[in-house]
Structure 1
Amino acid sequence: MAEDQFDMLGCLERVRRRDQVAARELVEHLHPLVIRIVRSHLPRRVAEEDLAQDIFLKMFTRLDQYQGAVPFPHWVSRIAVTTCIDQLRAQKRRPEFRWADLSENEAEVLDNVLSDEKTELPGSALAARELVHKLLDQLKPDDRLVIQLLDLDQKTIAEISAQTGWNQTLVKVRAFRARRKLQKLFQELQSKEKSS
């Protein structure tokens, strides 16, 4: 169904009357939004469709809480982001990230960064992406989320504020602290490599 042809309020009203067809239409309409959020915040070892199902389940069970103060897709976005954060919190964080945890390609990428080599290695983009995600996995869920949205997804402070429900000052403070933590983690990894 095209965006401009979808009657969100009419569909919600039918869903509240337990119309199963309307419920399927609502899920079909919101699925691309939810999957996009899940993919950008997906905790490791969690299937994206499983997490999307959890989000839709929460959406339906909390539907009576939706008051219409914000557009419905924004409300669902907040549920999706919160669900992803909760999933990240539930996973045990590794206490330390070590040089030995890196794959051979990731180690080469880090070696190149440390030695300022400009040569591109085959697979270095993928290895660099994996290295970034391993470093991000060491952050607290809220810190990881703000870095993901701001730096990797290129969202604005205002967009992040609308999506998470955090005020703009909090977004800026979290981004600053998260970047400092990432820098510290990278320096620790760097010093471990130099000492080995």
Structure 2
Amino acid sequence: MLSVEARLVKRALKGDQQAFADIVDLYQDKLYHMAYRMLYNRQEAEDVVQDTFLRVYRNLDRYDDSMKFSTWIYRIATNLCIDRLRRRRPTYSLDAESTDHEGLDGYSVMPSDDRTPESEIVLSETQRIIRQAVENLPAKYKTVMVLRYLQDMSLQEISDVMDMPVTTIKTRVHRGREFLRKRLEHKL
């Protein structure tokens, strides 16, 4: 039995525009959140999502239905994010983006019943430090960390998305955690 995505792809290849619109509906929010967590920039994340769907539309006939559609579309989006990260100058600072809080990032919702103005300041500072540490991860570690911990993908799924062996993914997750630990132990 074909998956929902596989059926939509078959219909879209036959010119069914509603089928492609359904693919967009299925993935646009997921891809946006992944891109935002990699780029920490709302406009860039929106651009990546748009570029992803343009590439999917143009290359739908190249989709290999022996792989999961989600793997294929995430690979396209992830590669677009990595390209953007590589184009950034190494001295890129989040300070310019600090007012871009329309969407929630992964660190902004931490439940607490006893919040005080002082605890809010500490929480805000902690979130800023963590966000900056993740932002400063080298792209090869940042990608796997976002996919693993913020998109909750398994190591095998990340391996499929990035077209790398699972052992490489494990190594990058380990090194990414070490990089974050070293950065954060001096700041927190």
Same fold (TM over 0.5): yes
Of 18, 22, 26 in structure 2, the residue corresponding to residue 21 of structure 1 is 18
**Aligned ranges 1:1-196 → 2 under 5 Å:** 7-44=4-41, 46-94=43-91, 121-186=119-184
CA RMSD of aligned residues (A): 3.1
When the two structures are aligned, how many residues end up with a matched partner? Answer: 165
Show the counterpart of 2:113: none
Report how far residue 35 of structure 1 moved: 2.4
Decide whether aligned partners of structure 1 residues 34 and 157 sit closer, same or farther in structure 2, where only a CA change above 3 A counts.
same
* Greater radius of gyration (CA): 1
Q: Write out per-residue CA displacement over residues 49-85 of structure 1, whole angstroms, 9 at most, x where no aligned residue.
A: 2221011111112212212111212211111111111
Query: TM-score scaled to structure 2, two decimals?
Result: 0.70
**Cα distance in 2, alignment partners of residues 151 and 43 from structure 1:** 15
- With 21-30 and 175-184 compared, the bigger mean Cα shift is at 175-184
Show the counterpart of 2:112: none
Asked whether the equivalents of residues 33 and 77 of structure 1 are also in contact (C-alpha less than 8 Å), the reply is: no
- With 148-157 and 85-94 compared, the bigger mean Cα shift is at 148-157
Q: Which has the higher contact order (CA 8 A, sep 6+)?
A: 2
AA at the equivalent of 2:172: R
Q: Which runs of 5+ in 1 are unaligned?
A: 1-5, 98-102, 104-119, 191-196
AA at the equivalent of 2:69: F
Decide whether aligned partners of structure 1 residues 167 and 72 sit closer, same or farther in structure 2, where only a CA change above 3 A counts.
same
**Cα distance in 2, alignment partners of residues 86 and 45 from structure 1:** 16
Q: Which runs of 5+ in 2 are unaligned?
A: 99-117
Query: TM-score scaled to structure 1, two decimals?
Result: 0.68
**Cα distance in 2, alignment partners of residues 170 and 65 from structure 1:** 27
